[in-house]
Amino acid sequence: MKAGVISRLNDRKALKIAQDIAQYLMNNGVDVELETETALSMENPGGHTDLGEMSPDFMVTVGGDGTILRTVMQMQEPGTPILGVNKGSRGFLTEVHPNYVNDALDRVLTEDYEIERCIKLSSRHLETGKVFPDSLNEVLLASSMPSKAIDVQIKVNGEPLIDIQSDGVMASTPVGSTAYNLSAGGSILHPEINSIILTAISPYSYFRSIVIPHRDIITLELLKPRSEGMVIIDGRDFTATKPPTTIKVQLSEHVARFIRFKPFYERLERRLVFKESK
């Protein structure tokens, strides 16, 4: 069995936890791949592998949701199971507190866990042909200027839904429904509800949000000739754009897989009231 280990880079405690996890796994006969930036931040002179070239049986992330999003976006095999150790802030996608990580690893090694499969979204710029990275949380078409709204036409399966003026429009997965979507007033979706949620940010309209079937195809068209927009994938990948801009969003063929010991509602409570993992 082979495990990958990646850590938040700007937190010495997280790096120490990642180092301890790697050692614990090796002591239990597991081959360990350290992600390159993690290993260099540890000042570890040993072997390491770039994230895009890692091929473990499962991945352990130490950090918060940002570390997990970076891992999911760059991993060679997008369906590699992920165990998230919470050393971030909210850490909704993470599963265990550092104090209980050895117990969690023991359960992984004895296959005493559930796998949560989470849909992802694929998106591309129709005019330029640019394909964006798959998103685990959301695809966002936003204004490039924080104080300036954009006009967007939303279509679903080629049928016009609404022309809307807002700070932006996002298409979110059930996982992403508890992220930016929630802050923008969108509903929370259970991960077993395979749907996409379309949410407008500060819209000048009665329209706020709509949940659509996950097989539907969405297009977001930037309307104003002189407006400037930004396509943002999971808050990590940024592309500036101008009209003509039409972003096509649909279900990805890839899914993310998370190692789970707890029910969804326990993690949701932690997200809503800002409780630590246990």
Structure confidence by residue, pLDDT tens digits, 27-83: 999 999 999 999 999 987 677 999 999 999 999 999 999 999 999 999 989 899 999
Give percent of the chain with pLDDT exceeding 70. Answer: 96
Report the CATH fold assignment for 2-113+261-273.
Rossmann fold (3.40.50)
Q: Please report the pLDDT score of residue 271 as a whole number.
A: 72
> Average pLDDT in the 230-237 region?
97
CATH class of 121-253: mainly beta
- 6-12-17 Cα angle (round to 5): 50
Q: Please report the pLDDT score of residue 242 as a whole number.
A: 92
**Both structure tokens of 233:** 């994938």
**Residues annotated catalytic, as ranges:** 65
Q: Would you say residue 225 has pLDDT above 80?
A: no
> Average pLDDT in the 4-25 region?
96
Place 181 in a pLDDT band, splitting at 50, 70 and 90.
Answer: very high
Domain spans of the chain, in order of start: 2-113+261-273, 121-253
Please provide the DSSP assignment of 114-176 as one string.
EEEEEEEEEEEETTT-PEEEEESSEEEEEESSTT--EEEEEEETTEEEEEEEESEEEEE-TTG
Place 26 in a pLDDT band, splitting at 50, 70 and 90.
Answer: very high
Q: Please, where are the H alpha helices in 28-120?
A: 36-41, 65-74, 101-109
**Both structure tokens of 15:** 């790096």
Cβ–Cβ < 8 Å for 171, 191: no
**Cα distances (angstroms) measured from residue 143 to each of 23, 134, 184:** 46, 21, 15
Cβ–Cβ < 8 Å for 70, 256: no
Q: Would you say residue 274 has pLDDT above 80?
A: no
| Domains 2-113+261-273 and 121-253 equal at CATH topology level | no
> Average pLDDT in the 151-163 region?
97
Q: Please report the pLDDT score of residue 201 as a whole number.
A: 96
